[in-house]
Amino acid sequence: MSAETMPVAAGSEPTAVDYAVYHSQAIFTAEQENIFRGQTWCYLGLEAELANSGDFRSTHVGNTPVVVTRATDGTIHAWVNRCAHKGATVCRSLRGNQADGAFVCVYHQWAYDATGALVGVPFRRGLKGVGGYSKKFNMAEHSLERLRVETFGGLVFGTFNPTIAPLDDFLGPVMRKYIQRVFQRPVKVLGYARQFMAGNWKLYSENSRDSYHGGLLHLFYPTFGIYRQSQESAGLVSDEGYHTVFIVSKPKGDVHYGSFGDEANREMQGEAKLQDERLLAFRPEIADDVGLHIQSIFPSVVVQQIQNTLATRQIVPHGTDRTELVWTYFGYADDDEETTRHRLRNLNLVGPSGLISMEDGEAVELCQQGTIGAEGKRSFVEMGGDDVRPSYAPMGMDENSVRGFWKGYLGLMGNALADLAGEGRA
């Protein structure tokens, strides 16, 4: 690598990150190895998407295409969607059910079972003594590349790493507690939305851990005079800094949104009034007062409950400046029709068109555009301190969780960043 193209991100620290991390192809490549195929568990999907044997879903780990399946014995498997013959994409659908349990590559019809094992090769012995593979050809050596799979709550995770500790340890007790909060009872998928941002995946990872921007970028609440000053809030960060959960409780007592306006700070109180308040109605359905729960699991998923919306947001990095966000919306399996309709109404708040969330897509792109040509310059992440604390309350005037993300990221990438910079100097 030449000195001109060399990323100089080795000087980054959690409070000051070299903008090269959003633009460098070398860093992006190193992230695939060190983070997504490294010492992490990556979100693959929901167990609810794999309700029946034969169900499958195409997904990604980093930029690697992966398929997650439920086999005939009920176990969940994941494999790289790359034929062991010539590398073709094996499974070409986003999701479905492979009733006979076989995934057949269309190119030369090598067939794999749901576990990724090669189970059939056309003309393996040739025909009438002509062609075919040698006697040494062993099907067991030509399976699809498999991931280790574990589940927690209703979430399915996979890892390429053979030695990483179990998923439970990777998540830690605090994250497990909050995942269980959302997945307190069986869920059902309500649908998907996919949002494509011309920005780096880490800009979104920071965004979902950034409580500072909440009431400043997203002006929906203050515009309609529903700024909620009396809320209790906290941001909790896991040990290595990887994961974060933000929790905001609704004001005690009356849950009718109209009362929030009275408590609002005058300057934050808007002129406008909602014509249809049902959009915002909140029906507590978990045994607490939490109206907002945003949980960022390193490196690639956010679990959320905002009012009565439930969703995962999977971050798929397709390139340094191409990031896909896959929203999977769900409700509880025992929801009646009216409850589902209420969730659909609440969903106006979130997603690519969300009244309190659409701005995040724009923020990601603005930071990507603004940092072009800024390699060697660094961000300033010192709101609320320069350390990473396990808990910060109330939240909103700090970047504690963003520093946590960078602490975890730099821990995994540190050597790679130093090596890249070292090569550049050489």
Partner 1 sequence: MSVAAEVAQVAQSAIDDFNAAYGLCLDDDRLEQWPNLFVDDCLYQVIARENVDNGLPAAVMYCDSKGMLADRVVALRKANVFPEHFNRRLIGRAVITGAEGDQVSAEASYVVFQTRNDGETRIYNAGKYVDRFDLSGGTVRLKSRTCIYDTLRIATLLATPI
- Binding stretches for partner 1 (CB under 8 A): 94-95, 189-198, 217-220, 222-224, 270, 272, 274-276, 278-279, 324, 329, 340-341, 344-345, 347-348, 351-355, 358-359, 361-363, 365
The position carrying tokens 């990724």 is 116
With CB under 5 to 8 Å by kind, the binding choice for 137 among Fe ion, partner 1, ligand FES, none is none
CA–CA separation, 179 vs 176, rounded Å?
A: 5
Least gap, CB of 40 to ligand FES (angstroms): 29
283 touching ligand FES, by CB under 6 A: no
Task: State how far Cα 167 lies from the chain centre.
Answer: 16
Nearest CB to partner 1, comparing residues 139 and 189: 189
Binding mask 40-79 for ligand FES (x = CB under 6 A): ----------------------------------------
CB of 214 closer than 8 Å to CB of 396: yes
Least gap, CB of 109 to ligand FES (angstroms): 6
Nearest CB to ligand FES, comparing residues 107 and 137: 107
With CB under 5 to 8 Å by kind, the binding choice for 197 among ligand FES, Fe ion, partner 1, none is partner 1
The position carrying tokens 């991931």 is 147
Nearest CB to partner 1, comparing residues 36 and 330: 330
Helix (H, G, I), strand (E, B) or coil at 400: helix
Nearest CB to ligand FES, comparing residues 102 and 198: 102
* Binding test (CB under 6 A) with ligand FES, winner from 72, 94, 107, 390: 107
CA–CA separation, 258 vs 106, rounded Å?
A: 58
CA–CA separation, 14 vs 375, rounded Å?
A: 17
Least gap, CB of 379 to ligand FES (angstroms): 44
Least gap, CB of 67 to ligand FES (angstroms): 14
CA–CA separation, 116 vs 131, rounded Å?
A: 26
CA–CA separation, 227 vs 233, rounded Å?
A: 14
CA–CA separation, 301 vs 327, rounded Å?
A: 10
Nearest CB to Fe ion, comparing residues 115 and 211: 211
Least gap, CB of 128 to ligand FES (angstroms): 22
CB of 79 closer than 8 Å to CB of 67: yes
CA–CA separation, 424 vs 394, rounded Å?
A: 43
Q: Give the number of residues written for the chain.
A: 426
Nearest CB to ligand FES, comparing residues 88 and 119: 88
Helix (H, G, I), strand (E, B) or coil at 295: strand
Count CB atoms within 10 A of the CB of residue 281. 15
80 touching ligand FES, by CB under 6 A: no
Least gap, CB of 46 to partner 1 (angstroms): 13
Least gap, CB of 306 to Fe ion (angstroms): 11
Torsion of CA 217, 218, 220, 225, to 10 degrees: -60
Part of the chain binding ligand FES (CB under 6 A), chosen from 81-89, 188-196, 301-309, 393-401? 81-89
CA–CA separation, 77 vs 144, rounded Å?
A: 11
Least gap, CB of 108 to ligand FES (angstroms): 3
Closest to 144 measured CA to CA, from 74, 68, 33, 75: 68
Nearest CB to partner 1, comparing residues 118 and 326: 326
86 touching ligand FES, by CB under 6 A: yes
CB of 42 closer than 8 Å to CB of 59: no
CA–CA separation, 43 vs 61, rounded Å?
A: 8
Closest to 324 measured CA to CA, from 58, 116, 19, 80: 58
- Site residues (CB under 5 A) for Fe ion? 360
124 touching ligand FES, by CB under 6 A: no
CA–CA separation, 206 vs 378, rounded Å?
A: 15
110 touching ligand FES, by CB under 6 A: yes
Nearest CB to Fe ion, comparing residues 47 and 360: 360
Amino acid (1-letter code) at residue 148: R
278 touching ligand FES, by CB under 6 A: no
83 touching ligand FES, by CB under 6 A: yes
What are the residues binding ligand FES (CB under 6 A)? Answer: 83, 85-86, 88, 105, 107-108, 110
